[in-house]
Amino acid sequence: MKKTIIITGGAGFIGSHVVRRFLNNYPTYLIVNVDKLTYAGNLENLKDVADHPNYRFERADIVDAEAVRAIFQKYEVTDVIHLAAESHVDRSIEGPMDFVMTNVVGTVNLLQAAKDAWKGTEGHVFHHVSTDEVYGSLGDEGLFTEHTSYDPRSPYSASKASSDHFVMAFYHTYGLPIKMSNCSNNYGSHHFPEKLIPLMIHNIQHKKPLPVYGKGDNIRDWLWVEDHASAIDAIFHTGRIGESYNVGGLNEWTNIELVRFLCQLMDQKLGRPTGESEELITYVTDRAGHDKRYAIDASKLKEELGWTPSITFEEGLSKTVDWYLENQDWVEQVTSGAYQDYYETMYNKR
Ligand code: NAD
Ligand code: DAU
């Protein structure tokens, strides 16, 4: 079947994996990557598919409603997979307004454009990619299900929760054919090195301090990014309209356990004495309002669509470390310029 799919945020971490997967797996689809190229978006992430005959790139800000409408008209868009967002919690604490603009206003612009373009026609999908952070923070027990009440606690998660509500409102009010997914923490190649895992890999490699927030006892549930892309593929194609699906790999780690594990793995890979990198661990001031624990119940996705993660965390982390060690140029490129100022400011504050 022919489709023309806008993938927003395709130059970012997860978006680049989704673009690549769709180009490789669906030769009858035209994929239009719509991305503003913020500090987090980098066309290097897609250089292997840049010349693919079914790939187009449109540099656009989704906050610009006219630009969004023009892209819908130019390509006669049939479907949307929406990933563009401001994605980093620490940045949202420093300045929430970019998160309101992109994550809320940008999402509503896309919803409006899709509603108008698809009026009176059928067979479309608007897939909104969201996060488990909308559910808030768990105690020691329990998992987030699709029925867990929303309880966002950071400016980032508040903006994503708001966008989720608008997506559902467009389904209920206008019958827009939406699907939604709420995923746990991703890791893998092309992950911007402000986030925990790529930051730690970079700092271990260069023998810099490893900043662990608070006591390091916060828990995250980690999923390999290519398994998230496969879940988006399954939900986009076979998920039910009007439904949300939780995505996660039942893989909880405290931050400090994870950082220690990475240190041991990298000591081996770099031929360092065991325990050398752990000496770099530095406990720093905690993140404001730091959510204690995230953990996903993905049984709906497994039972309805047969999705399961493809690799273990140990395998995925080993591949990820290898990718960063082999792609030092990429790290240097994306961390130059504006990012460097941010990193220095954030780090010197602690
Ligand atoms: P990212 O920060 O790596 O990439 C975001 C992309 O969006 C970048 O390419 C950026 O240039 C683009 N973008 C930002 N603002 C834009 C705008 N106004 N107009 C057009 N493009 C814009 O993010 P990511 O980690 O790949 O996350 C992608 C999506 O998945 C987000 O919606 C995020 O909330 C969600 N998510 C992320 C994770 C995770 O662990 N990273 C987990 C669950 C859900
Ligand atoms: O759960 C999904 C979410 O996961 C996504 O929606 C977000 O876009 C994504 O950024 C991620 O959010 P987190 O805040 O969980 O990820 P981050 O990598 O920033 O932090 C992971 C944990 O590590 C968190 O408990 C904070 C801690 N941390 C983070 C950094 C950057 C540290 O201890 N030190 C650090 O330097």
Q: What is the pLDDT of residue 339?
A: 60
Q: Which residues contact 92 (CB under 8 A, 6 or more apart)?
A: 86, 99, 154, 155, 156, 159
Protein residues whose CB sits closer than 6 Å to any atom of ligand 2:
87-89, 131-133, 184-185, 195-196, 199, 211-213, 218, 220, 255, 287, 294
Which residue's C-alpha comes closest to atom 17 of ligand 1? 61
**Nearest-ligand number for the alpha carbon of 253:** 2
Which ligand number lies closest to the CA of residue 283?
2
156 catalytically annotated: yes
Q: Which amino acid is at 258?
A: L
- The atom of ligand 2 lying closest to the CA of 213 is 33
* Residuewise pLDDT in 10s, the chain (350 residues): 899 999 999 999 999 999 999 999 999 999 999 999 999 999 999 999 999 999 999 999 999 999 999 999 999 999 999 999 999 999 999 999 999 999 999 999 999 999 999 999 999 999 999 999 999 999 999 999 999 999 999 999 999 999 999 999 999 999 999 999 999 999 999 999 999 999 999 999 999 999 999 999 999 999 999 999 999 999 999 999 999 999 999 999 999 999 999 999 999 999 999 999 999 999 999 999 999 999 999 999 999 999 999 999 999 999 999 999 999 999 998 988 656 666 666 655 54
For residue 294 and ligand 1, the question of a CB distance below 6 A is answered with no
pLDDT at 336: 83
- Burial tier of 215 (Cβ tally within 10 Å: 0-12, 13-18, 19+): exposed
Tell me how far apart the alpha carbons of residues 80 and 282 are, in angstroms, rounded to a whole number: 42
Q: What are the extents of the domains in the chain? A: 3-187+223-247
Catalytic residue among 35, 61, 79, 133: 133
Does the Cβ of 14 fall within 6 Å of ligand 1? yes
The per-residue pLDDT for 316 is 98
Residue 294 annotated to the active site? no
Quote the ligand 2 centre to 87 CA distance (angstroms): 10
Q: Is 19 in the pocket of ligand 1 (CB under 6 A)?
A: no
Kindly report whether the global pTM for this prediction surpasses the value 0.95. Answer: yes
Q: Which residues contact 164 (CB under 8 A, 6 or more apart)?
A: 128, 130, 134, 150, 180, 182, 244
3-state secondary structure the chain: CCEEEEEECCCCHHHHHHHHHHHHHCCCEEEEEEECCCCCCCHHHHCCCCCCCCEEEEECCCCCHHHHHHHHHHHCCCEEEECCCCCCHHHHHHCCHHHHHHHHHHHHHHHHHHHHHCCCCCCCEEEEEEEHHHHCCCCCCCCECCCCCCCCCCHHHHHHHHHHHHHHHHHHHHCCCEEEEEECEEECCCCCCCCHHHHHHHHHHCCCCEEEECCCCCEEEEEEHHHHHHHHHHHHHHCCCCCEEEECCCCEEEHHHHHHHHHHHHHHHHCCCCCCHHHHEEEECCCCCCCCECCECCHHHHHHHCCCCCCCHHHHHHHHHHHHHHCHHHHHHHCCCHHHHHHHHHHHHC
Q: Is the CB of 12 under 6 A from ligand 1?
A: yes
**CATH code of the domain occupying 3-187+223-247:** 3.40.50.720
Which residue owns the Cα nearest ligand 1 atom 5? 12
Residue 346: the pLDDT is: 60
- Which residue from 42, 118, 125, 133 is spatially nearest to 82, judged by alpha carbons? 125
Reply yes or no on whether 133 is catalytic.
Answer: yes
Catalytically annotated residue among 61, 132, 226, 291: 132
Closest ligand to Cα 64? 1
User: Distance from the CA of 79 to the center of ligand 2, in angstroms?
Assistant: 30
